[in-house]
Structure 1
Amino acid sequence: MRTPWFSLGSALLAVAVAAGALGAHLLRGLLDASSLALWETAVRYLFVGGFGLVATGLGAHVAPEGPWRYVGVALASGTVIFGVTVAALALGGPRWLGAVTPAGGLLLIGGFVAMAAAGFRRGRSS
């Protein structure tokens, strides 16, 4: 089964490394401590989502019958929503973005719960 999740996760990991370097080298002198902490949170969750999507791609390869499309969509959309809104807030974006951020977190949680359920289901049938 061919899925985009491994490649998308790898691309997100590359973005996370670049965003982390940007924060460490350029933004450190431009942002206050609170904003820099927000930026680091955004980067951390880009890594979490990226690794989750890589795992989703591997899971889809090992057990193609699993719910990997749902897992991938939840993790990808959750990572983008959470990461982008937190990064935008760090850079002085509109405060209403803070109301959108939890939706990304819920999608991430849902994606990882679905991944765990797929693993338990696979383990039971083997």
Structure 2
Amino acid sequence: MDIDASSRRLVLVGCICAGLGVAAGAFGAHMLKGMLDERLLAVFDTATRYQMYHSFGMVLSGFAVRIGRDTGAAKAGWMFLAGILLFSGSLYGVSLLGVRWLGAVTPVGGALFILGWAILGWRAWRSAGR
């Protein structure tokens, strides 16, 4: 894949995820306060926070691809997206829909987050030696 296209895609998708994270945070703060109990509101808040952190990670990965001229760093960004979908998505489902079994999916998303950071760190370490 073209380095510039890979970088642009990651930055764009990361920014979209961040924008949706802001919208989810506002929704939680303003619309859900009276609708969810404190425990479920905290679950929703955790989903939103981790979505934001890893949206920034996607953008960072996109810039790492561009600056380092290394498409391998893109793998980290796509791990972050998969993590957002599984980790945050499952927590949104638990808190908003009451589908408790989705909580079993959450650790898979967390593992993808960890893997994404490991890949990004490894690619940065490896490129520093060039």
Please list, as runs of the form range in 1=range in 2, the aligned pairs for 1:1-126 lying within 5 A after superposition.
1=3, 2-3=5-6, 4-125=9-130
List per-residue Cα deviations over 1:92-126 (Å, max 9, x = no partner). Answer: 4321111111000000100011000111111122x
User: Distance between the aligned counterparts of 1:117 and 1:90, measured in 2?
Assistant: 35
Taking the aligned partners of 1:33 and 1:94, their CA distance within structure 2 comes to 17
* Separation (CA, whole Å) in 2 of partners of 1:91 and 1:54: 28
Question: Runs (4+) of structure 1 moved beyond 2 Å?
Answer: none
Letter in 2 for 1:98: G
* Residue type at the aligned position of 1:117: W
Q: What is the rounded CA distance, in whole Å, between the counterparts of 1:48 and 1:117 in structure 2?
A: 19
TM-score, normalised relative to structure 2: 0.91
The Cα of 1:66 is off from its aligned counterpart by: 4.5
TM-score scaled to structure 1, two decimals? 0.94
Q: CA deviation at 1:17?
A: 0.3
Over the matched positions of the two proteins, sequence identity in percent amounts to 34
Given residue 91 of structure 1, which amino acid in structure 2 is its aligned partner?
L
Q: Greater shift after overlay, 60-69 or 98-107?
A: 60-69
Aligned partner of 1:116: which letter? G
Number of aligned pairs? Answer: 125
Q: 1:84 is aligned with what amino acid? A: G
Flag structure 2 segments of 5+ consecutive residues without an equivalent: none
Of residues 100-109 and 83-92 in structure 1, the stretch that sits farther from structure 2 once superposed is 83-92
- Point out where structure 1 has 5 or more consecutive residues left out of the alignment: none
